[in-house]
Amino acid sequence: MKQKPELDHYKYWGEVPTGTYMTKTQLRDLDLPRQPGGPARATVQGRDGASRRATFDLYLISESVPTSASAAQLSAAAARRRTGPRVCEQCGARPELPCTKVESWRLCPACAHVERLRAAQRKAGEARAHAQQEATRLLGGGDLAVVHVAYTDRGTTDSGKRRTPSAAEVTALGADGRVLVGVQMRLVPPRSKGTPDGAADPRQAAETIRTTLGEKTVLVWGNNVLADLGHALRALDVAWPFPSGYDRRHELKPLAMHWRADLNPWTATHRLPVAPDRADRMLYLLQRIAS
């Protein structure tokens, strides 16, 4: 028995090649309507008219054929329309598929996309103002510690599993740029391979951090920055040295993301900022956000 060819599958509409596939409904809704001339060649995940997740069959446009409607019938159908869904009310384009209603406008795909981008930019502007306020609050609190952690990596095992870093260099700066903490602590048992010379005993280093930062409000790039440190200290039975509790730890990454308000033009979502990777650059960035 002849096997059916495997269909291409797209996770969302943005993956579907433009001008290659359409659903039956899209073919039927064309200004000069068509219908599938062959089997479905692909599928795409999306949402139906009730906003429920659904899978849609896609047909090759190149295999489609005209419907039986004559030119006279198409002309009569166009005359019966009370609105002009085929004309963009902003740029005057006449797309083959019906225009999209955005607020009170009927827009072509390009204008609808621009309008959605503008709406996302307005929302991003509001988030930027909040980020500036939060940065100002953190800098003005009088107890800020900007913390950066740099790890000494040991590569992977033969099976590909990532090894625990051998050491962590912890740097903490005050809001005025003064160095509060500057210590490299060992994260593995003594005499482990790859441990930097001079790395401090983890208990002593943790106590230094705890004593210095115990009453501070800590700002890290992202909470995941402290993950390796936390795992290693637990394995060594060393108590967590950083402040915890409500409003004691904050992330710079989301503040930077919202302050930059740099949107991906295709998805209208924020681009993720690149990490500063140094405490002095983190403080400099926070000061810029506040200003």
103 pLDDT more than 90: no
Q: Residues 98-120: what's their mean pLDDT?
A: 92
Q: Which of 29-38, 157-166, 177-186 has the lowest mean pLDDT?
A: 157-166
Q: Residues 58-63: what's their mean pLDDT?
A: 96
Q: Residues 86-99: what's their mean pLDDT?
A: 91
| Backbone torsions φ then ψ of 184, nearest 5 degrees | -105, 120
* Structural domain includes residue 85: no
Q: How confident is the model at residue 110 (pLDDT cuts 50, 70, 90)?
A: very high
Q: Residues 172-201: what's their mean pLDDT?
A: 94
Token pair, residue 223, equals: 């909470």
* Residue showing tokens 């005050």: 174
Token pair, residue 30, equals: 């064309």
Could you give the CA distance from residue 138 to residue 254 in angstroms, rounded to a whole number? 14
Judge if 62 and 135 occupy the same domain.
Answer: no
1 pLDDT more than 80: no
Judge if 55 and 194 occupy the same domain.
Answer: no
State the pLDDT at residue 264: 95
State the pLDDT at residue 94: 93
Judge if 173 and 52 occupy the same domain.
Answer: no
* Structural domain includes residue 138: yes
Judge if 172 and 242 occupy the same domain.
Answer: yes
Q: How confident is the model at residue 79 (pLDDT cuts 50, 70, 90)?
A: confident
State the pLDDT at residue 265: 92
* Structural domain includes residue 91: no
Q: Residues 97-121: what's their mean pLDDT?
A: 92
83 pLDDT more than 60: no
Judge if 134 and 258 occupy the same domain.
Answer: yes
State the pLDDT at residue 2: 54
Choose the final residue of a domain: 23, 39, 68.
Answer: 68
Give Cβ neighbours of residue 284 (< 8 Å, ≥ 6 apart).
276
* Structural domain includes residue 184: yes
| Average pLDDT across the chain, whole number | 93
Judge if 170 and 49 occupy the same domain.
Answer: no
User: Structural domain tally of the chain?
Assistant: 2
State the pLDDT at residue 84: 58
Judge if 265 and 147 occupy the same domain.
Answer: yes
Judge if 30 and 144 occupy the same domain.
Answer: no
Judge if 59 and 190 occupy the same domain.
Answer: no
* Structural domain includes residue 276: yes
241 pLDDT more than 80: yes
* Structural domain includes residue 265: yes
Judge if 189 and 52 occupy the same domain.
Answer: no
199 pLDDT more than 60: yes
Q: Residues 207-229: what's their mean pLDDT?
A: 96
State the pLDDT at residue 82: 58
Give the 3-state secondary structure percentages of the chain, helix then strand then coil, rounded to 5: 35, 25, 45
Judge if 147 and 264 occupy the same domain.
Answer: yes
For 249, the domain range is 130-154+163-290
Q: Domain of 259: which CATH number? A: 3.30.420
* Structural domain includes residue 230: yes
Choose the final residue of a domain: 15, 38, 68.
Answer: 68
Greater pLDDT, 86 or 281: 281
* Structural domain includes residue 73: no
Q: What percent of the chain has pLDDT over 70?
A: 97
Q: Residues 119-148: what's their mean pLDDT?
A: 97
- Secondary structure string (H, E, C) spanning 28-69: HHCCCCEECCCCCCEEEEEECCCCCEEEEEEEEHHHCEECCC
Choose the final residue of a domain: 68, 95, 119.
Answer: 68
